[in-house]
């Protein structure tokens, strides 16, 4: 069973390690701490027993929220952790007054796109050649959901 817990700046090292297991561009502990310390930031950790398996970080500004990053380590993918983290974020963003949530996702990230489609996010734009890849560049889709 995966528990969702608040993610605070004290968890920066844990999030940095998780981020490194999820993405090619690793955020170091200092960068994670800076983000988690910003005003309006919402963060959650997904944990199985006492082992962190995923995270979500975003922020609320005025009546909008932005998901900055969401990651689940490979052994825990396709087990519902990302959905639970997303649900927790959306609930807290709504509680803090957000009426819509935005995010960017790589066009080639089919698993993440499926998650956001299931959660009823809709494409609101595209940033051409936004992500660097070993074999070139990839577009970022800008997704939006009313909450």
SS (H, E, C) the chain: CEEEEECCHHHHHHHHHHHHHHCCCCCCHHHHHHHHCCCCEEEEEEEECCEEEEEEEEEEECCEEEEEEEEECHHHCCCCHHHHHHHHHHHHHHHCCCCEEEEEEECCCHHHHHHHHHCCCEEEEEEEEEEEECCEEEEEEEEEEEC
The catalytic position among 49, 64, 66, 116 is 116
Instruction: Compute the distance between CA of residue 15 and CA of residue 57 in angstroms, rounded to an integer.
Output: 10
Whether residue 130 lies in the annotated active site: no
The catalytic position among 25, 29, 64, 104 is 104
Whether residue 49 lies in the annotated active site: no
Query: Which residues are marked as active site?
Result: 104, 116
């Amino acid at each position: 069973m995966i528990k969702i817990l608040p993610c605070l700046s004290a968890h920066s090292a844990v999030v940095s390690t998780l981020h490194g297991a999820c993405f090619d561009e690793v955020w170091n502990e200092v960068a994670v701490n800076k983000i988690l310390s910003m005003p309006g930031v919402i963060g959650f950790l997904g944990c199985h027993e006492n082992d962190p398996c995923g995270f979500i970080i975003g922020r609320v500004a005025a009546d909008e929220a932005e998901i900055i990053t969401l990651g689940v380590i490979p052994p825990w993918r396709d087990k519902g952790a990302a959905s639970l983290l997303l649900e927790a974020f959306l609930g807290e963003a709504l509680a803090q007054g957000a009426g819509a949530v935005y995010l960017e996702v790589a066009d080639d990230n089919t698993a993440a796109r499926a998650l956001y489609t299931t959660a009823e996010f809709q494409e609101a734009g595209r940033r051409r050649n936004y992500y660097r890849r070993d074999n070139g560049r990839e577009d970022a889709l800008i997704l939006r959901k009313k909450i």
